[in-house]
Amino acid sequence: MARSVFRYLHDCEYIYVSFDVDSLDASISRGTGTPVSNGLREREAEDLISKFMQHRKICCFEITEVNPTLDRENLMAEIAFNILQRSVNVLMMN
């Protein structure tokens, strides 16, 4: 999937990655306004974003739609942090 995205964006000078936690499966995405059935699992999201972060054209990365008022157990914030932490680790290795 990441390869097809990069082929599509081949002519772009820079790529800005915005990861919306709404894309995560509703079973783990309680701290967001629009949970999705059959969404990504945490590991799937981490793997996908890690592939993106290895690309030299990535200039920025953000995680959006974490809503603390809906995140009573702080699960969504923890998952978002795990995804961010793995992304930063990939950047540091490259």
What pLDDT was estimated at residue 35?
82
Q: Are 59 and 14 in contact (CB under 8 A)?
A: yes
Q: Where are the alpha helices (DSSP H) in the chain?
A: 2-8, 42-53, 75-93
What are the tens digits of pLDDT across the range 15-36? Answer: 999 999 999 998 888 888 888 8
The pair of three-digit structure tokens given for residue 19, joined into one six-digit string = 């990861």
What are the tens digits of pLDDT across the range 41-92? Answer: 999 999 999 988 888 888 899 999 999 898 888 999 999 999 999 988 888 8
- The whole-model pTM stands at 0.83
What pLDDT was estimated at residue 34?
86
Q: Coil, strand, or helix at residue 36?
A: strand
Burial class of residue 1 (count of CB atoms within 10 Å of its CB; 0-12, 13-18, 19+): exposed
